[in-house]
Amino acid sequence: MSTSNATTHDPRLAVEIAGIRFNNPVIGASGTFGYGLEFAELIDLNRLGGFSTKGLSARPLPGNPPPRIVETHGGMLNAIGLQNIGARAFIAEKLPLLARYDTHVIANVFGYSDEDYIEAITILNDGEGISAYELNISCPNVKEGGIVIGNSPTAAARLTEKAKRASSRPLIVKLSPNVTDITLLARAIVEAGADSLSLINTLVGMSIDVNTRRPRLNYGTGGLSGPAIRPIAVRMVYEVANAVRVPLIGIGGIASSMDALEFIIAGATAVQIGTANYYDPRVTMKVLDGLSEHCDRAGIAHLNDLIGSIVKR
């Protein structure tokens, strides 16, 4: 993270996650923000709290065949698969360019087995300018017969423990919402050593073309994101905030500062913005301005005062 530029930040918005100070709580969400550089012409990256990269694996992957994206009411379904340039190319090609910007780079990591994750983290440990890792545990785990690590507190805790040991940086674990009780997972992962949790990833969904009677996505099912999932995400952040003590990053359908504030009041220290970037590439800047305006209007001395400040009915 370079400090050579003179962007001014609203001191009321600074937050801390896993020992890292963020100038503000607005973070671009993995898979919707490329490798950050794609947004350099569209927004002032120096104003952004940070962004999470597209999920990185030890080796490059091509992702799924198209169609990979379908629009739905208030959201979208995606089955991009885990297309990415690979951890080594990220270090060689992207990190040197990202060093020009004063924003936190969170490396989102995934794998199909515990060993895959550890291999990717071990490679990324050599990269300069990564602030933290975010583990995407919503991937099918081939070794456990196709279950998703993120559905099993035992598997998720085991991976977290190994990842924490392998990692030279703070570890954020990203929770899957496709579970019956998200607090069981959250507790197991925090006990295993996670420094922070981010939530939620996409909800598994499906859309069918009634004329061809085929699923609209080539893969069949996909991950639902966007405003349609926001109330579910807010509820899950609220539940997890009452179950664990680590800082939370709220994600799911955020498209305005009011949306972001819901997550913060529910218990999130920061937020990530995903799908909204597709239809409004400047949404992160608007959310940022809106948070400062809210502090002015509501007489909030520091955004920290609002974290988990929900009033029970």
Ligand X SMILES: Cc1cc2nc3c(=O)[nH]c(=O)nc-3n(C[C@H](O)[C@H](O)[C@H](O)COP(=O)(O)O)c2cc1C
Nearest distance from C-beta of residue 176 to ligand X, angstroms:
9
* Phi–psi pair at 227, nearest 5 degrees: -50, -30
Residues 200, 224 contacting (CB under 8 angstroms): no
From 94, 25, 22, 23, select the one nearest 56 (Cα to Cα): 94
Considering beta carbons, is residue 98 or 135 the nearer one to ligand X? 135
In the chain the first and final C-alpha atoms are separated, in Å, by 43
CA distances from 57 to 21, 84, 88, 206 (A): 27, 7, 9, 26
Q: How many helices (H) and strands (E) does the chain have?
A: 9, 18
| CB-nearer residue toward ligand X: 29 or 91 | 29
Q: Which is nearer to ligand X, 196 or 225 (CB)?
A: 225
Give the footprint of ligand X on this chain (CB under 6 A): 29-32, 54-55, 78, 80, 108, 136, 174, 201-202, 225-226, 229, 251-254, 273-276
| Rounded-to-integer distance, Cα 272 and Cα 284, Å | 9
In the bound complex, what is the minimum distance in angstroms from residue 79's beta carbon to ligand X?
Answer: 9
**What residues are annotated to the active site?**
139
Q: How far is the CB of 82 from ligand X (least distance, A)?
A: 6
Residue nearest to ligand X as judged by C-beta position: 31
Alpha-carbon distance 251 to 135, whole Å? 14
Question: E-strand spans in 87-246?
Answer: 104-109, 132-136, 140-141, 147-148, 171-174, 196-199, 203-206, 208-209, 214-215, 221-225
User: CB-based burial of residue 245 (10 Å sphere; 0-12 exposed, 13-18 middle, 19+ buried)?
Assistant: exposed
Nearest distance from residue 250's CB to ligand X, in Å? Answer: 10
Smallest gap from residue 230 Cβ to ligand X (A): 7
Closest contact distance (angstroms) between CB of 28 and ligand X is 9
Place of tokens 């990717």: 120
Distance CA 172, CA 194 (A): 6
CA atoms of 67 and 80, how far apart (whole Å): 9
* 202 vs 269 by CB, closer to ligand X: 202
Question: CA-CA distances (angstroms) from residue 285 to 1, 39, 265?
Answer: 19, 11, 20
Tokens of 170: 């703070």
Using the minimum distance from each CB to ligand X, give the nearer residue, 31 or 129: 31
